[in-house]
Amino acid sequence: MNETLRVANIISGVFRRTTTDVNIKEYPGTSCSGNFYTSFGGGPRLCPGYELARVEISVFLQHLVTQFSWVPAEEDKLVFFPTTRTQKRYPINLRRRC
């Protein structure tokens, strides 16, 4: 589950606006975005739904792994910019187990 969240997180980053002017080198007035190193963020804005999300993912993975089998629908690969993810969202052909 942690690996799934790391590789295919639904949130790749967030935008922030400063409350006072901050000059960063020669880029004044630029908006900035942050990428997450943890799936659910952290600090005061930590995702309040993270326990629910983890339960839902656990239930989904339990059904997927025990009731279905799959093969990759096409070649895919991990990319690391701008975030870690599979390039084509890892398309699969799914089949229900007998």
State whether the Cα torsion 16-17-22-24 is positive or negative: positive
37 binds ligand HEM (CB under 6 A): no
8 binds ligand HEM (CB under 6 A): no
Which of 47, 83, 85, 92 binds ligand HEM (CB under 6 A)? It is 47
Please report, to the nearest 10 degrees, the dihedral formed by the alpha carbons of residues 61, 65, 66, 70 taken in order: 140
Token pair, residue 39, equals: 């799936």
CA atoms within 13 A on the CB side of 75: 0
Token pair, residue 14, equals: 């967030």
**Nearest distance in Å: CB 2, ligand HEM:** 11
89 binds ligand HEM (CB under 6 A): no
48 binds ligand HEM (CB under 6 A): yes
Residues that bind ligand HEM (CB under 6 A): 9-11, 14, 36, 39-41, 45, 47-49, 52-53
